[in-house]
A and B are shown apart, each in its own frame.
Chain A
Amino acid sequence: KAGVTQTPRYLIKTRGQQVTLSCSPISGHRSVSWYQQTPGQGLQFLFEYFSETQRNKGNFPGRFSGRQFSNSRSEMNVSTLELGDSALYLCASSQDRAGANVLTFGAGSRLTVL
């Protein structure tokens, strides 16, 4: 069974640009959640999608958005990038709603904003 796949793995952007990250969950998993990981901050919850609906959202500005497609693949978008957006963005999938089942993480997309 393939794991959670995130693309791209590494990317460099400049301030003001926008970026789209992709996450393909484990086959059969309907929930995808996104997290931002920065040194010393641990993992900060961004949002969770379940059956194409945003189920929950963390405390991030509106520049951060996401969506989920009918095949459960998810994308997150960050517009008007700031230096502070440099981080590892992790997605995780679970069979059912996050919290009801174990989260399985992808390898992450490392974003550097210059």
Chain B
Amino acid sequence: GENVEQHPSTLSVQEGDSAVIKCTYSDSASNYFPWYKQELGKRPQLIIDIRSNVGEKKDQRIAVTLNKTAKHFSLHITETQPEDSAVYFCAAYFNKFYFGSGTKLNVKP
């Protein structure tokens, strides 16, 4: 089955800096890659997603890149703000969702 690895497990940045979270997947048939943000005590919420026929997608300060050959995708957050502090999960989909183990992002004011 699919295996999704996510790194780093924790990431601490200064406000205004960029943050990058990386995920790798094993099944080349995976075709949908969403990213979820989960604030403490709250439900995961989709922040951006990408399908396998697209290499990059951007939404304001957030971007996702996908390298199908290398089987990895990354989340990029620019100009980080304290409200970006949360746990971020990547996922890969092929018949079912496989989630990474999460990255706890701490943005220091």
Contact = CB atoms under 8 A, between A and B. Distances in A.
19 contacts: A33-B96, A35-B97, A42-B101, A42-B102, A43-B89, A44-B99, A45-B96, A45-B98, A58-B96, A59-B1, A90-B43, A99-B32, A99-B94, A102-B46, A102-B49, A103-B34, A103-B46, A105-B44, A107-B42
Contact of A42 (B32, B49, B89, B96): B89
Contacts of B32: 99
Contacts of A40: 101
Nearest to B46: A102
Contacts of A35: 97, 99
Band of interface residues on A: 20 to 34
A41 B101 contact: yes
- Interface pairs A-B: 10 shortest CB-CB: A43-B99, A99-B93, A42-B101, A105-B43, A42-B99, A56-B96, A105-B44, A107-B43, A45-B96, A42-B102
Nearest to B100: A42
